[in-house]
Chains A and B, each alone.
Chain A
């Protein structure tokens, strides 16, 4: 069974640009979660999607947004990039809410 996949592996952008990160969940999983892991810090919850709808959102500004497609894959968009957005962005999926999550390898976003 294929695990959670994320693309790209690395992404380098300049301040003010937009970044798009993608995630494909494990087959059969309907929930997708996004986290930010800044260097030296723990995971901060960003967004949770289930069945195509945004179900919960962490304490991040509106320039962090995303969506979930009918095939349950998901996209995270970060607009007006700032230097402090540089981090590892992790996607996770679960077969249903309130269940253990399976993580992808992450996308390393660097903002210069």
Chain B
């Protein structure tokens, strides 16, 4: 069945370090792909999205490119800040309009 696999956390980085959180998926057809972020004590917020192959989603310095050939949607940021500490979820929406989330990756950024 359809699934999303994220790298296990927690990921601990120093401020201004480069961030990559890996996400790969298995799906039939052409799903839409999303990254959501959950800050401590809050609900999820949409971070960025891509709806077709080779699309690049970007927001707040974060980027992810929809790679159909490698079935991946890795999240990257060039210089992380303490305020980026949160849990990041990769998700896909299938042709059956069902959203499947990855397990989440917790990011800690140290000052």
Residues on A facing B (Cβ under 8 Å): 4, 33, 35, 41-43, 45, 48, 55-56, 90, 92, 97-106
Contacts and interface: CB of A to CB of B under 8 A. Distances in A.
Contact of A103 (B45, B96, B104): B45
B43 A98 contact: no
Given A42-B104, A43-B89, A98-B32, A33 B46 contact: no
B43 A105 contact: yes
Interface residues of B, number: 20
Nearest to B43: A103
A41 B34 CA distance: 19
A101 B101 CA distance: 12
B98 interface: yes
B37 to A, nearest CB: 11
A60 to B, nearest CB: 13
Contacts, number: 46
Given A56-B98, A97-B97, A42 B44 contact: no
A45 B46 contact: no
Interface string B28-65: 00001010100000111110010000000000000000
Contact of B43 (A33, A45, A48, A104): A104
Given A41-B103, A42-B89, A42-B103, A101 B46 contact: yes
B46 A102 contact: yes
B69 to A, nearest CB: 23
Contacts of B96: 56
Nearest to A106: B43
Contacts of B34: 100
Given A98-B32, A98-B93, A100-B49, A43 B43 contact: no
